[in-house]
Amino acid sequence: MTGDSAGQAHPIRVAIVDDQQIVVEAFVRVLKSREEFSIVATGNTGYDAVAIAETGGVDVIVMDIRMPGLDGIGATRRILGAGPRAPRILMVTTFNLDSYVYEALRAGASGFLLKDAPPHDLVTAVRTVARGDAMVDPSVTRALIGSHARRIRPPAEPVEALAMLTKREHEVLRLLAAGMSNAEIADHLVVTRETVKTYVSHLLSKLGLRDRVQAVVLAYRAGIVDD
Handedness of CA 123, 126, 131, 134 (dihedral sign): positive
Q: Are residues 127 and 208 in the same domain?
A: no
Q: Which residues pair with 60 in a beta bridge?
A: 14, 88
- 10 falls in which pLDDT band (50, 70, 90)? confident
Range of the domain at 207: 155-221
- The total of structural domains in the chain comes to 2
Task: Give the domain CATH number at 183.
Answer: 1.10.10.10
- Tens-place pLDDT, residues 131-146: 877 666 555 555 555 5
Q: Which residues pair with 91 in a beta bridge?
A: 63, 112
Higher pLDDT, 99 or 221: 221
- 96 falls in which pLDDT band (50, 70, 90)? low
pLDDT of residue 5: 40
- Tens-place pLDDT, residues 40-80: 999 999 999 999 999 989 999 999 998 988 999 999 999 98
Give the DSSP letter of residue 179: T
Q: Are residues 16 and 100 in the same domain?
A: yes
Q: Are residues 111 and 160 in the same domain?
A: no
Q: Is the pLDDT of residue 226 over 50?
A: yes
**Is residue 207 a part of any domain in this protein?**
yes
Residue type, 92: V
**Is residue 15 a part of any domain in this protein?**
yes
How many angstroms separate the CA atoms of 147 and 1, rounded?
36
Q: Are residues 127 and 168 in the same domain?
A: no
Q: Are residues 19 and 114 in the same domain?
A: yes
Q: For 120-133, what is the mean pLDDT? A: 86
Of 67-76, 78-87, 94-103, 159-168, where does mean pLDDT reach its minimum? 94-103
How many angstroms separate the CA atoms of 166 and 23, rounded?
44
- 113 falls in which pLDDT band (50, 70, 90)? confident
**Is residue 80 a part of any domain in this protein?**
yes
> Exposure of 157 by Cβ count < 10 A (0-12 exposed, 13-18 middle, 19+ buried)?
exposed
Between the alpha carbon of residue 66 and those of residues 9, 58, 162, 183, 224, the distances in Å are 34, 21, 34, 33, 31
Spatial neighbors of 160 by CB under 8 A, at least 6 apart, are: none
Of 4-13, 36-45, 67-76, 192-201, where does mean pLDDT reach its minimum? 4-13
Q: How far apart are the first and last CA of the chain?
A: 41
**Is residue 143 a part of any domain in this protein?**
no
Q: Are residues 86 and 163 in the same domain?
A: no
